[in-house]
Amino acid sequence: MKKEGVKLIENGKRLDGRGLDELRPIKMEIGVLKRADGSAYVEWGENKIMAACYGPREVHPRHVEEPDRAIVRVRYNMAPFSVPDRKRPGPDRRSVEISKVTKEALEPVVLTHLFPRTVVDIFIEVLQANAGTRCAGITAAALAMADAGIPMRDLVASCAAGKIDGKVALDLMGLEDNYGEADLPVALAPNKKQVTLLQMDGNFTRAEFEEAFEKALGGCLKVYEMQKKTIRKKYEV
C-alpha cells in the first residue's frame, strides 16, 4: 500500500496519463477456444485474461451435485509467467479466495433451477497481470458463460476504484495498486442493479468510500456496454 516518496499524480494526471475517472484501454473477444463450450479473452491495460466455460454437464464427484439446481464452479489461476517475479505454480490462498468471490459474483445471475444435478465449470487463466485481475476475470467469465449459451438473467460486469495520493481514482494500474492507499473491487448485474461483489482493501473515509463506490459502479456500466458490444459483434452478418 502507500509508500512514502512515490508520487502517483502529477499535474492532475496519473503516471499513465489518465484522469481520475478514466479506465485503462480494454479489448474483449469471445469464442476464442474451439474445445470450450464458451470462451472469452480480455485485455485490460496490461492484464491478459482467458476464460473458458463448460456445461451444463454431469457433476463429478457426484456427491456435490444439487437435486434442484445446477452448481457453479470457478477456478482462477495465475500463470507462473504472469508476473515479473515468477509465481509458484498451482493454487495459493489468493487464487482460492478469488475463485470463491468470483463464483459468488456470477452465481446470482445464472438460472440454475433450469438444469438440476449439473455443473457449470468456469476456468480463468491470467496470462499477464497488472492489477485488477479479479475484475477482469469476472468480466471475462461472464462473457464466456454468455458465449456458452448459459441461461442468465444478466451479464456481470466488474470494475474497481481506489485511493492514490489521497484522491479517489478509477481502475488502478499496477504501481497505483502497490503504492496506493485503498482499493474497492465491485461487480454489478446492471439490469437489476444488483451488486454481486463488494470488497475493500485499505482505508477510506465514509465520503471517500461513497465516491469510490460510485466511480466503480460507473466503471462497471462502461464495461457492461463493452460486453454487450462484444457479444453482438460475433453474430453480426
pLDDT, residue 185, reads 98
Q: Hey, is 187 helix, strand or coil?
A: strand
Report yes or no: 155 and 109 within 8 Å, Cβ to Cβ: yes
Report yes or no: 50 and 39 within 8 Å, Cβ to Cβ: yes
Q: What angle do CA 40, 44, 48 make, to 5 degrees?
A: 60
User: Quick count: other Cβ atoms within 10 Å of Cβ 215?
Assistant: 22
DSSP, residue by residue, 16-61: TS--TTPPPPEEEEE---TTSSEEEEEEETTEEEEEEEEEEEE-SS
pLDDT, residue 237, reads 60
Query: Could you tell me the three cell numbers for 123?
Result: 476456468
pLDDT, residue 87, reads 77
User: Quick count: other Cβ atoms within 10 Å of Cβ 232?
Assistant: 9
CA dihedral 188, 42, 48, 89 (to 10 degrees): 70
| Domains, the chain | 20-235 (3.30.230.70)
pLDDT, residue 90, reads 76
Query: Could you tell me the three cell numbers for 41?
Result: 479473452
Residue closest to 231 by CA, chosen among 168, 144, 171: 144
DSSP, residue by residue, 156-183: -EEEEEEEETTEEEES--HHHHHHSSEE
Q: What is the pTM of this model?
A: 0.94
Kindly give the parts of the chain with pLDDT less than 70: 1-5, 237
In the chain, % of residues over pLDDT 90: 88
What residues pair up with 26 in beta bridges, in sequence order?
44
Query: Could you tell me the three cell numbers for 9?
Result: 499524480
pLDDT, residue 3, reads 52
pLDDT, residue 7, reads 87
Q: Hey, is 130 helix, strand or coil?
A: coil
74, burial (CB in 10 Å: exposed 0-12, middle 13-18, buried 19+): buried
